[in-house]
Amino acid sequence: MMPCIHCGACVPVCPKGLWPNQLYEALAQGDLARADALGLARCGACRACQEHCPSALPLTARFREGQKQALRWTVAKTQAAADAQQAAQRYEAREARLQAAEAEALEAKRQRRAEAKRRAEARRPAAEGADARQQAQRAALQRAMEKAQAEGREDDLARLTAALAALGDGP
Ligand code: SF4
Ligand code: SF4
């Protein structure tokens, strides 16, 4: 088998208006995209080009094999596109789940803080009330102690001192 001598004899005989020589070259280089662009799918395998080829190149057989390869290539490309689309959908769904979980966690945190603040505010008046009562008791005891001391009532003074000590130093 001789190489293509670029005589062009195959071109005018193609009933589909293809360029068999260029098609053959593209397939020989494994360039399915170029062969596809040159109209490989339209080849009817009529053998006209092959019969006029002085190099006796197996044009028709090569074109039929190329069509099978192109079909597999198209299927693979379609499958790859479908896989890519599914992967993109899975990625978007995962992102949406993560964002929702993050928003939920933030909302739960906000609610915990609000609840803690509400409880602290609810406790504050009671604590402040207790402090005020203790201060009043302490002041009353001190006044009673001063009076007991002035009047020389030692027993009362001891009792009042113990009561004041029992109250503690306060907050
Ligand atoms: S075999 Fe294909 S490329 Fe060759 S002449 Fe026929 S249709 Fe054209
Ligand atoms: S007829 Fe044969 S040798 Fe001539 S251009 Fe076509 S493929 Fe090449």
Q: How confident is the model at residue 170 (pLDDT cuts 50, 70, 90)?
A: low
pLDDT 10s digits, 45-99? 999 999 999 999 999 999 999 999 999 988 998 999 999 999 999 999 999 999 9
Question: How many angstroms separate the alpha carbon of residue 40 from the centre of ligand 1?
Answer: 9
Which amino acid is residue 56, in one-letter code? A
**Atom 3 in ligand 2: which residue has the minimum CA distance?**
4
pLDDT digits (tens, 9 = 90+) for 60-74: 999 999 999 999 988
DSSP 11: S
Structure tokens that stand for 165 in this block: 């000590």
**What atom in ligand 2 is closest to the CA of residue 6?**
5
| pLDDT per residue as tens digits for the range 10-23 | 999 999 999 999 99
What backbone torsions phi and psi does residue 60 show, to the nearest 5 degrees? -60, -45
The pTM for the full model equals 0.55
Owner of token pair 């001063």: 146
**Distance from Cα 26 to the centre of ligand 1, integer Å:** 15
CB 78 within 8 A of CB 50: no
Domain boundaries, the chain: 20-82
Cα 116 to chain centroid distance, Å, stands at 33
Pick the range with the lowest mean pLDDT from 112-116, 124-128, 131-135. 124-128
Cα distance between residue 76 and residue 70, in whole Å = 10
Nearest bound ligand to the CA of residue 13? 1
